[in-house]
Structure 1
Amino acid sequence: MKRLFLASALLAMTPLAMADTTVELHKATDEGVSDSVGTVTFEDTDYGLLATPDISGLPGFGMHGFHLHANPSCDPSTEDGEVTPAGAAGGHFDPDETDTHSGPYVKDSHLGDMPLLVADNDGNIKTPVLAPRLKESDLAGHAVIIHEGGDNYSDTPHLGGGGARWACGVIEGR
């Protein structure tokens, strides 16, 4: 009985590690989200937020913009009669209101700017990336989006030229 009490006391004093955050991403369409394209798992490290994708279905090799967006929605939006897939996710997460798209390594930039993801020849993304300015606690209540095209981390062309929103996933609050 004494051993059981000691084991319980030790467990109670041991801090529990926060579970990693995994978000499922779905193809973004004019009608809403459709089939799952995979997941991204996020975890804090000493160097920032590690994002480990397991994504498939992209149309071949290439770079893709990857961002944390302001709103927790993947619904389409309509403005001036034009539909934007996952448009309800809003703009990039920018709590400091920098209004600047300069990438994940520049302090005075959208906090939601994350490193590019690169698809292999089969349209799969498996290589982890590190977002040095983000923490797992920043994710809740936002959407993560993968864009069809790359990202040059500038404001020209608009938001680095990532193009259409290809996939979206909502990160629920904790």
Structure 2
Amino acid sequence: MKRVWMMIPIILLTGCLEKEITKLDVKMVNDKGDSVGTITIQEVSSGVKLYLKLNGLPPGEHALHIYDKGQCKTPDFKSAGEHLNPDDKEHGLLHPKGSHAGDLPNLIVDDDGSVKGELMAANVTLKEGKKSLFPKDGTSLVIHEEKDDGMTQPEGDSGARIACGEISKDGKK
């Protein structure tokens, strides 16, 4: 009988611990609120890998950024805030003083409006901490109408925001 009672606190304690999120889906929507696919993000040893599976986008090169608010209100997605920038750096992957944590390589959308591929976000994590994608206000992924030139402040002269997805622990795997 004593053995059973000694196990109960261990079982209760284990059940209260939140499981660390290592992978989740971000559902992307356009300015009308229609789905344009999913970006799966996964914690890896060198940051967060993004697996893109998108459609219904304009063909060509487009900027993709991580923003500092977890809101995607249509039609302009201004609710997503600004680029995620916990280290107070300048914008642009080509900037000599370093880039925002939310700066990512451009996407290349095929003529049929689709894009499949992988990108790396080396300056963020799904774990707790300063560079986490789970701060109090959340974060989001935003696709722009133009490419990011890699230098121009504050968003790389990338034009309007055309698609957005809220990064949420609810999409965890």
Q: TM-score range by the shorter chain?
A: 0.7 to 0.9
Can you list the C-alpha shifts for 1:71-121, whole angstroms capped at 9, x where unaligned? 111125xxxxxxx700011110111222x1122897732111112111112
TM-score by length of 2: 0.75
Task: Identify if the C-alpha distance between structure 1 residues 23 and 95 changes in structure 2 by more than 3 Å, giving closer, same or farther.
Answer: same
For structure 1, which runs of at least 5 residues remain unmatched after alignment? 1-11, 77-83
Distance verdict in 2 for CA 1:172–1:17, change over 3 Å: closer
Equivalent-residue separation in structure 2 for 1:51 and 1:121 (angstroms): 22
Q: 1:169 Cα deviation (Å)?
A: 0.8
CA RMSD of aligned residues (A): 2.4
Work out the percentage of aligned pairs sharing the same amino acid: 32
Runs of 4+ in 1 over 4 A off after TM superposition: 104-107
1:44 Cα offset (Å): 1.7
Paired with 2:152 and 2:101, the residues of 1 have a C-alpha distance of 15
Q: Look up the match of 1:131.
A: 121
Deviation readout 1:42-61 (Å, 9 max, x if unpaired)? 1122232110011101122x
Gaps of 5+ in 2: 1-13
Q: Superposition pairs for residues 24-39 of structure 1, below 5 Å? A: 24-28=27-31, 33-39=32-38
How far 1:18 sits from its partner (Å)? 3.8
Aligned length: 146
**Structure 1 residue 70 displacement after superposition:** 0.9
Residues 135 and 106 of structure 1: is their aligned pair in 2 closer, same or farther, counting only changes over 3 Å?
farther
More strand by share: 1
In 2, Cα distance between equivalents of 1:145 and 1:101: 15
Matched, 1:74 2:72: yes
Name the TM-score, length of structure 1 as normaliser. Answer: 0.74
**What is the SS of the residue equivalent to 1:115?**
coil
